Structure 1
């Protein structure tokens, strides 16, 4: 998550203070880079939602916290009918058939029908290389059966998609649909009944929240409100510069792409800008993209990528360096989630500060000395995960200083290898120490002492 910068002052960089959900606005002087907090938002399964797909069309499947009280139904016929609806909707998006997409939508529900037409128009803009919908488990709810009738079928849906030129592998997100049977056909009567029970971070995609405009450039996709073409053009330029900068600076090269979502909605994907600190201070959050949903293979899901969501209040303050920080998180997202916070944020800030087309060069030497004298002098250790965001004014500059030393002494290739192994395996301090010793010959405590020694020298 990126905090908002305050107005720049006279020369002489000042790397603090921060405030915000995990961090906060920082006074920018001299080099003036924005320090950016990482917020790849993990999801948790909530509300007793059953996520695993059914064993077969004959298998009864219900939410874990409720027992079914529905009358006997031909489950195989129901499964086949709903699956046919889902297949037709996916085909409609691929072949640009709007009437086919809404053919099974309740014609008497004007709000639902309008919402689904908007959804179709949105989906068509993203340019999917692949798209399919998969019926997961039934989510039984007596109140909904009472509302819609005895044939009510409430089901979690997995949407598997791959945006052409953006997603490295197919990704998955979740929907919740309510169907009823009328005259032998299965009709969609609601697309919101399960919203509160779907896992955060793998739901409420950019195409779900209203009419949008999608614009592309090489390795970049930007999503804005339908009437915000000027904003889209501006963000495409900044994001393009940021993607090229990360691709050039990341050791071994990063060939991925960046998605920037800049909508008026305050809750999109895993980003929640209704929270007071986020609303006030945050610029952006990088949010997880999943190849398996939370609850399918593991509790937190298997991650493949991330999309950046801007704070609607502060999106006009986003610059290319902000996006370079976030795209560094995008580049490292496939590695895993166990890297220590100082390495995650320090690495993203390190790349953010490097020379970048369209951005003035920063006085890194002056900044390094400021961090040493203002923060390192009183620090006792590298910031731990548990306190990182509670003292972000110190945590961010110290993390940058540690990563700066790693790049200088060991080179980018070794730092990337260290990052990859820490992210994949560093779930305990013992494992982190082992990995650090293997790659750089010292533990995290030893690295801190090396940073102190370099400052003294």
Structure 2
């Protein structure tokens, strides 16, 4: 998870002017929720949940005909979004289910605002649930769906999300959507509950930026657009590799969106925002965790007023580095994001970094025995974040941005074990994490 935990005792600007107490800069790492007992995406599963059972006896159904018919419904719905045809989108929705029709109408209006360059719905696998079958009848078809999409000007390539639909066969042989919620609790965390799946939203754009807020929140959207624009420029300028990606900021009233769960106590009170994975392949398709492509930032509705350009620069650094992989040590992940966050940027007051550097050395480094370990990074976040920043600050000063960027890429892609991390650091820096900590100590002395 990526975000911040603690409310600073004073504003960042006050701290930069020498107030004596630097704000606590606490971030959650990128959401990396593995799938445990998730859906079988390429074969039917009778163990998806405790409530699921083996397939009940049903009247003979031509499976090939059903697959073709449902594909036709899904294709019609995707094209309806791209062509702005609400009637076609709703044509195969159960007209007797008023709440479903209302949700689907809202979904269509939401989807239209995102500006998809590509949108495809694909059947993945049938799921069985006796209660659902009893509710809708013997022809019930409960199926996991992959939504492949690409938001124009935002996603560098196609990405995927998950949803679950329930269909039944009409007397005329056509298939009708009767529910869009029956699989919600089984779907892997972080790969569904997208911003368009909530209530009515407002989507606003600027170059390389997309903001999602509640419908009618124009002022909030415009404020976030300005801050996000500054943050995108800052990351592009300051993070090695000339990032050309985009920043998505989702600031809704909902407490669970994508991989962000602000109902959890550790997040609800203090987290400001977190960068949540966007998937190139879904959890369970190729790997258990899924293959990640990018990240969208989700803001905690409780702390929406605390978001500023520096907050978003921190999160967008996670976005920029997300495609490299998930294996970099936490001190490098959060240290890199905090390093960029603290640099000069449009619309943000310049920070007194020399003073902060000395404060970190005297307040935290003298007590530390090593770089912050992954296992305790967030439990000891008061010291972990400053020390992580100091480590990355040292790397930039001593080795330069190009070397730091290359180091990060290899650590993120290959650093799944301590032995691999040591090997990569020796290759690039001539020292391990232990040696880096000793070098930071020596520089302080």
TM-score of the superposed pair, with normalisation by structure 1: 0.93
The reply to whether residue 331 of structure 1 matches residue 342 of structure 2 is no
Q: Aligned partners of 2:213 and 2:303: how far apart in 1?
A: 14
Instruction: Verify: 1:182 aligned to 2:175, yes or no.
Output: no
Q: Which runs of 5+ in 1 are unaligned?
A: 15-27, 55-60
| Unaligned residue ranges in structure 2 (runs of 5+) | none
5 Å-filtered alignment, 1:144-183, equals 144-183=132-171
1:209 to 198, 217, 223: 198
1:375 aligns with 2:358: no
Q: Is the 8 A contact 1:215 1:232 kept in 2?
A: yes
Please name the residue that 1:8 is paired with: 10
- Distance in 1 (CA, whole Å) between partners of 2:359 and 2:22 is 12
Per-residue Cα deviation, 1:36-88 (whole angstroms, up to 9, x for no partner): 41332123335552222x5xxxxxx3344542223232100110111100000
Report what 2:94 is aligned to: 106
CA 1:12/1:100 → structure 2, altered by over 3 Å: closer, same or farther?
A: closer
Separation in 2, partners of 1:380, 1:242? 34
> How far apart in 2 are the matches of 1:267 and 1:12?
33
Give the one of 118, 123, 127 matched to 2:106: 118
3-state DSSP of counterpart to 1:386: helix
Cα deviation, 1:114-161, whole Å, max 9, x if unaligned, reads: 000000000000000100000010001111111110000000000000
Q: Is the 1:11–1:29 contact (alpha carbons within 8 Å) kept by the matching residues of 2?
A: no
Q: Who is 1:62 aligned against?
A: 45
Residues 455/243 of structure 1: CA separation in 2 closer, same or farther (3 Å cut) = same
2:332 & 2:215 partners in 1: Cα distance?
38
1:254 aligned to 2:243? yes
Q: Is the 8 A contact 1:285 1:309 kept in 2?
A: yes
| 2:123 paired residue among 124, 135, 156 | 135
User: 1: distance between equivalents of 2:81 and 2:99?
Assistant: 20
Cα RMSD of the aligned pairs, angstroms, is: 1.7
Distance change >3 Å, CA 311–CA 11, structure 1 → 2: closer
Name the CA distance, whole Å, in 2 between partners of 1:190 and 1:339. Answer: 41
Does structure 2 retain, via aligned residues, the 8 Å contact 1:38–1:344? no
Residue pair 2:12, 2:23 contacting (<8 A) in 1 also: no
The offset of 1:375, in angstroms, is 0.3
Where in structure 1 do 4 or more consecutive aligned residues deviate above 6 Å?
9-12
Alignment of 1:322 with 2:305, yes or no, is: no
| 1:44 aligns to 2:34 (yes or no) | yes
Larger mean Cα displacement after TM superposition, 260-269 or 71-80: 71-80
TM-aligned CA deviation for residue 219 of structure 1: 0.4
Q: How many residue pairs were aligned? A: 436
Aligned CA distance change for structure 1 residues 294 and 105 (closer, same or farther; 3 Å): same
Describe the SS at the equivalent of 1:196: coil
